[in-house]
Amino acid sequence: MGTSSGEESGVTAAAEGVEAWHGLYDALAEEHDYEIGEIDGRLPDGLVGTLYRNGPGCWQVGETLLDHIFDGDGMVSLFSFPGDGRIHYRNRYVRTRHYRYGQRKGRAGLRGLGTQRPGGVLGNMLRPPANVANTGVVLHGGQLLALWEGGRPYRLDPDSLETLGEHSFDGRLKLMSAFSAHPSRCPETGELFNFGMDFTRLRSLRCYRVDPRGKLQHMPRISLPYSPWNHDFALTRRYLVFVINPVIPKAGPILLGTGSIADALTYEPDRPTCFAIVPRDGGKARVIEHKALLGFHFVNAFEDGDDVVVEFVRFADWDQVATRFRDFRTSDFPWGDALMRYRVSSSGRIEEQEVCGGPMELPHADVRQAGRPHRYTYFAGRTPTSTGIHAYDHVTGRRTTHELPPGHGFGEPVFVPRTPDADEGDGWLLTLAYDPDEHRSRLLVLGAQDVEAEPLAVAHLRHHIPMGFHGSFTTRIATPPR
């Protein structure tokens, strides 16, 4: 790509005030395609399929540094496990308009979420943020989609990762529609559910149902007391469950271009958090108001009798989150303060339970448990001495940790079952770790029932993978291009 690497641009882990793991925010300039030659240990026999991951791969365009962690161009990686002990790695940037403009001009020209376009107020007035397709990735109905919460997905070839174009689901997702980066698949029906923030109608969310073959249907809109920014939701057998924070985009500076969109997101704790219980069958949503709280990433939800239970990572301080997203090159990661469960009764009563304390983020559960009670929650977490991957057992209350060496960078854990019908927890966690001494990343394969043990296998990449967001595993094996 046309941008320079972090080392060339001087944005390195050696800069003043930057800890070694911040090398994760150096750009990965190259697009790679190779069989990983250095694998310690042995890959489990049943680990067959493909891990896809997405995240910003580059936070600069030419010499221009981008001002927000969400503004980097989306770079999708795949790790293909054919089942013979080998791993093939490939990464490709999503050919979005933002990416192509930067390649062509060698400078930033589009407005981002936290990065203003050149030209001051007039240059940003009435400009929506560019879709950088950098947040999530899912294979559904044969389509590999790179997801970003403010716009339509980009469709990629699931083998070559070539960008095939913006995906409208046969025209059902109109221009300016949003298809969030956190869809949830029902393990019983194979349907994929998702939502999008509605930029054409205030105080509402759109919800979608995508059948197993990839056909999208609109569900009824959810009416809300305010127009929120919302990131995630969870699915039960009968409902979509939202916990909507009173983080509200201020329309004035966004539309007038007087400030960045990220800076216009304002936490208003005098307003309620809205628990929205949305029937999957299209019935009327229940919206229950609760005191303000902050949660961005959900683990799961399920029904317990007439109650709905939802689990997510709660945050204590919006200003800290916003500051760390903006000052990502020098700040600590924006950790959540606790894993929480909220029980919503049919009468609208809400009970809260702290499951375990943080700092933590990027939670994950076995996706086969989506919508039903899950026993294990996995997440990245911090201890006083290091970061690592944690597993929490809801039955025993035991928390186990795979600690990374001090100063090393971490990533989201993704659970892979040993077989399609293996018990919950019987499988592996795939996660990326970053070694600042070598400025390289490793793929760790951890035994999910013994995360404290040495990894079953460690695959050493030839380079680092910049700090990413979300990934997913599929049993389909991506094949190298001919």
Residue list, annotated binding site: 182, 231, 297, 470
DSSP letter string over 400-450?
Answer: EEEEPPTT-B----EEEESSTTPPTT-EEEEEEEEETTTTEEEEEEEETT-
In the structure encoding, which two tokens stand for residue 32, read together?
A: 């790679």
Which residues pair with residue 58 across a beta bridge? 73
Q: Tokens 């204590």 label which residue? A: 316
DSSP letter string over 41-106?
Answer: E---TT--EEEEEEEEEESEEBTEEPSSGGGSEEEEEEEEE-SSS--EEEEEE---HHHHHHHHHS
CA separation for the pair 167, 158 (Å, rounded)? 14
Specify whether the CB–CB gap between 255 and 126 falls below 8 A: yes
* Residue 146, H or E segment: strand 143-147
Specify whether the CB–CB gap between 237 and 189 falls below 8 A: no
CA separation for the pair 434, 443 (Å, rounded)? 9
Closest CA to 91 of 156, 13, 5: 156
Q: Are strands 239-244 and 49-58 parallel, antiparallel or unpaired?
A: unpaired
Binding residues for Fe cation: 182, 231, 297, 470
**Amino acid letter for position 369:** Q
Specify whether the CB–CB gap between 154 and 146 falls below 8 A: yes
367 three-state secondary structure: helix
- Three-state secondary structure of 251-299: HHHHHHCCCCCCCCEEECCCCCEEEEEEECCCCCCEEEEECCCEEEEEE
25 three-state secondary structure: helix
Which phi-psi region, left, alpha or beta, contains residue 316 (left: φ > 0; alpha: ψ -120 to 50)? Answer: alpha
Provide CB contacts within 8 A for 423, sequence distance 6+.
none
Provide CB contacts within 8 A for 419, sequence distance 6+.
46
Q: How many CB atoms lie within 10 A of CB 189?
A: 14
